[in-house]
Structure 1
Amino acid sequence: MLGRPDAHLIDGPAGALEVVVETPDLPDGTAPIGLAVVAHPNPQQGGTMDNKVVHTLVRAFVAQGWQTVRFNYRGVGASEGGWDEGRGEVDDLLAVVAHHRTDPALRDAPLALSGFSFGGYIAAEAAHRLSAQGQAASPLVLVSPATTKFAVPQVPAETLVIEGELDDVVPLPSILDWARPQGLPVTVVPGAGHFFHGQLGTLKQIVLRHLKALAA
């Protein structure tokens, strides 16, 4: 199922936020499984919502029937504001969630969060904040979360964490050191670097298998 992309601006904590919403092609009268929001890598290193790993995550969620949103943090693309070292970027993600949950079809639907690199930190931190408010974000799918530069919080046991064996931006030992105290499994893609060049198909299949298993 290919999503129907809808690009527009919504109100965010620091001004307008640029979002792209992809709705799965479902039979008439069938609602999406839930809302999935995907966070992009560090804008200080050129990360945007057009990143290939972000697109891969979006395609996996849409294929499984999720209404999926990717967005640019404050100061990126058409989003207003400026870099806030991760603090405001978490607020941006939460604003995206709150905005799209005003849709009656999504208000009480499951919420999935996902992110790549810095976006993995943002998604994990947002899930942590939501949990403290009694709101669950599940599934949580993190690809190479930025454990070397940010204090990525503990995550639920069912979180899917994917890492490239040859990642030289967020090295595998750093991911394992973060996951080990939590008893958290890590799915390692042999031969893959940080951006999963030549391995995006494998990445998508790992996420699809996880989402299908949860839906079974």
Structure 2
Amino acid sequence: MPEVMFAGPDGRLEGRYHHSKQANAPVALLLHPHPLHGGTMNNRVIYALYQRYQAMGFSVLRFNFRGVGRSQGRYDGGIGEISDAASALDFLQAVNPNSHSLWVAGYSFGAYVGMQLLMRRPEMGGFVSISAPASHYDFGFLAPCPCNGLILHGAADELVPESSVKKLVDKLNTQRGITIDYRVMPGAGHVFTPEETERVVDMAEDHVNSRMNRSRMALAAD
């Protein structure tokens, strides 16, 4: 789990990067919850996803947004953090120049940043958005949403009502060519227990494997 430091728009950013032994492996970028509410790359959900993406054969990066841990700079209301994520993606692509499958996964605030990144980087192939803060941020920028993905939410989320996320999902699913895999965890709140976290990463793995298997089948058919 090597430490990495890479250039960001407001100073150096601290991360942990795993390089897959597989040639041209798929890559994943993981984005943590809100920096002002204790969010770091060591968040339980982000760390569990990091381990699971490794197990799936991905090259994977988690990192601290500006002002968190040893990352330089100061919190910038989401705008600078989107730029941080773009810099992290640049780093991933530089060390994986031949990868043809690129994913972003974010939790809470990280889900918002990840979906903003989708709109800026058309090469993204899929996303996993966990506890997306649809009641706190306007997701109208997803017009059109550039790719299919997983949105996962706790039915008992006390910070982001599930109904607000369902409304977003329904809107995205009306877009031509877009299918959102929406999964609701009964009884789960915004912060997942260790047992719930394991279920979260199981569902993420199921979605990613399903998408990638369909892609492989489509390539084989060609």
Q: Structure 1-normalised TM-score?
A: 0.88
Cα shift readout 1:137-191 (whole Å, capped 9, x = no counterpart): 1221100111122223323462100001111122201111221212244200111
Take 1:57 and 1:35, find their aligned partners in 2: how far apart are those partners? 13
* Residue 157 to residue 187, structure 1, CA distance change in 2 (3 Å): farther
Q: Which residue of 1 aligns with 2:106?
A: 115
The one of 54, 58, 62 equivalent to 1:62 is 54
Larger fraction in helix: 2
* Residue 162 to residue 56, structure 1, CA distance change in 2 (3 Å): same
SS in 1 for 2:208: helix
Take 1:73 and 1:23, find their aligned partners in 2: how far apart are those partners? 21
Q: CA deviation at 1:211?
A: 1.6
Q: CA deviation at 1:63?
A: 1.4
Q: Which residue of 2 aligns with 1:126?
A: 117
Conserved 8 A contact 1:17-1:78: yes
Take 2:24 and 2:208, find their aligned partners in 1: how far apart are those partners? 14
Conserved 8 A contact 2:19-2:58: yes
1:39 aligns with 2:31: yes
SS in 2 for 1:208: helix
Take 1:186 and 1:8, find their aligned partners in 2: how far apart are those partners? 33
Unaligned runs of 5+ in 2: 174-179, 214-222
* Residue 108 to residue 68, structure 1, CA distance change in 2 (3 Å): closer
Q: Which residue of 2 aligns with 1:199?
A: 196
2:149 maps to amino acid: T
1:21 maps to amino acid: Y
* Residue 191 to residue 156, structure 1, CA distance change in 2 (3 Å): farther
1:12 maps to amino acid: G
SS in 1 for 2:152: strand
Conserved 8 A contact 2:125-2:147: no
1:211 aligns with 2:208: yes
Take 1:114 and 1:87, find their aligned partners in 2: how far apart are those partners? 18
Q: Structure 2-normalised TM-score?
A: 0.86
SS in 1 for 2:121: helix
Take 2:212 and 2:151, find their aligned partners in 1: how far apart are those partners? 18
Cα shift readout 1:50-101 (whole Å, capped 9, x = no counterpart): 1001112212211111111000001111000101100010000100111221
Q: CA deviation at 1:107?
A: 4.3
Unaligned runs of 5+ in 1: none
* Residue 128 to residue 15, structure 1, CA distance change in 2 (3 Å): same
Conserved 8 A contact 2:18-2:54: yes
Q: CA deviation at 1:32?
A: 5.1
Take 2:128 and 2:12, find their aligned partners in 1: how far apart are those partners? 26
Cα shift readout 1:92-143 (whole Å, capped 9, x = no counterpart): 010011122122x434432111100000000000011112xxxx21221100
Q: Percent identical across equivalent pairs?
A: 28
2:184 maps to amino acid: V
Map 1:16-31 onto structure 2 (within 5 A).
16-24=12-20, 26=21, 30-31=22-23
1:38 maps to amino acid: L
Conserved 8 A contact 1:64-1:211: no
Q: Which residue of 2 aligns with 1:141?
A: 128
Conserved 8 A contact 2:18-2:60: yes
* Residue 53 to residue 187, structure 1, CA distance change in 2 (3 Å): same
2:10 maps to amino acid: A
Map 1:81-100 onto structure 2 (within 5 A).
81-100=73-92
RMSD: 1.5
